[in-house]
């Protein structure tokens, strides 16, 4: 009578106990270190603004501040510029009375072997409210975008040399538990010469527009912001 044989037992070695796994980890770690060490890091931007500029001016209502951020990027033929792209900030302070401001905004930024160009200047509006103006709200209120060339049909800079933007800011009141100070959020939007909102109730138009870099040199962009007293 033939006895039924049991299948042979195959003993497997855990992956981490195999003799070749530790050298493999060492090779992978070495390759990662070489890749990190040879990668070209972005260096801090140690340059200076260009002499070409435009003037950003305007007026702000009481207890309201403007924060403008100018961003610079390489030209079409300098995509490999090995520097951090700088952002210049132009800020006003909130005061107890309306105030005016004037900023000189460079159109370029010069680095060793690189020339960066102003690509956008964005605007944030911050307003204070409540007892002793201890509460605040900040909102994005628009941007100026610069391009090498404008698309067909896009109007250029006014021949007067000054572009005027008007903005109206109002408050949106939020439900707050009884006994707590009301919470508000700020909204700012573009208006026409009669201070009527541009856009519709669902999407208000923000301040700003698009211009070519060549036409901005020596020009003035004026922002005039007011608060909606009815809000």
* DSSP class of 81: -
Q: How many domains does the chain have?
A: 1
Query: Which residue range is the domain that position 124 belongs to?
Result: 48-227
> Which residues have a Cβ under 8 Å from the Cβ of 150 and sit 6 or more positions away?
156, 210, 211, 212
> Which residues have a Cβ under 8 Å from the Cβ of 145 and sit 6 or more positions away?
119, 120, 208, 209, 210, 211
Q: Which two tokens stand for residue 118?
A: 């102003």
**Residue 89: what pLDDT?**
97
In a domain, residue 207? The reply is yes
Digit-coded pLDDT (tens) for 124-166: 999 999 888 889 999 999 999 998 887 777 777 898 999 999 9
Digit-coded pLDDT (tens) for 5-51: 444 443 445 545 555 455 555 544 544 443 433 334 445 557 899 99
In a domain, residue 14? The reply is no
Using pLDDT thresholds of 50, 70 and 90, give the confidence band for residue 84. confident
In a domain, residue 22? The reply is no
Q: Indicate the helix (H) or strand (E) that contains 209.
A: strand 207-212
Closest CA to 218 of 163, 166, 167, 165: 163
In a domain, residue 57? The reply is yes
In a domain, residue 23? The reply is no
In a domain, residue 135? The reply is yes
In a domain, residue 9? The reply is no
In a domain, residue 93? The reply is yes
């Amino acid at each position: 009578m033939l006895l039924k044989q049991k299948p042979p037992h195959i003993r497997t070695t855990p992956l981490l106990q195999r003799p070749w796994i530790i050298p493999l980890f060492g090779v992978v770690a070495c390759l990662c270190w070489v890749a990190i060490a040879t990668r070209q890091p972005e260096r801090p931007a140690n340059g200076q603004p260009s002499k070409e500029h435009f003037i950003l001016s305007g007026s702000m209502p009481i207890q309201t501040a403007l924060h403008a951020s100018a961003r610079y990027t390489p030209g079409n033929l300098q995509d490999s510029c090995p520097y951090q792209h700088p952002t210049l900030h132009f800020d006003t302070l909130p005061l107890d009375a309306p105030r005016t401001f004037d900023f000189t905004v460079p159109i370029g930024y010069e680095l060793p072997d690189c020339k960066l160009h102003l690509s956008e200047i964005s605007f944030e509006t911050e307003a204070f409210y409540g007892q002793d103006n201890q509460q605040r709200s900040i909102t994005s209120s628009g941007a100026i975008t610069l391009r090498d060339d404008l698309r067909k049909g896009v109007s250029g800079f006014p021949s007067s040399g000054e572009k005027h933007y008007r903005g109206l800011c109002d408050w949106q009141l939020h439900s707050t538990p009884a006994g707590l100070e009301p919470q508000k959020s700020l909204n700012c939007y573009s208006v026409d010469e009669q201070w009527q909102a541009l856009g519709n109730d669902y999407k208000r138009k923000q301040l700003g527009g698009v211009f070519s870099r060549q036409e901005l040199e020596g020009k003035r962009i004026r922002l005039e912001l007011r608060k909606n007293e009815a809000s």
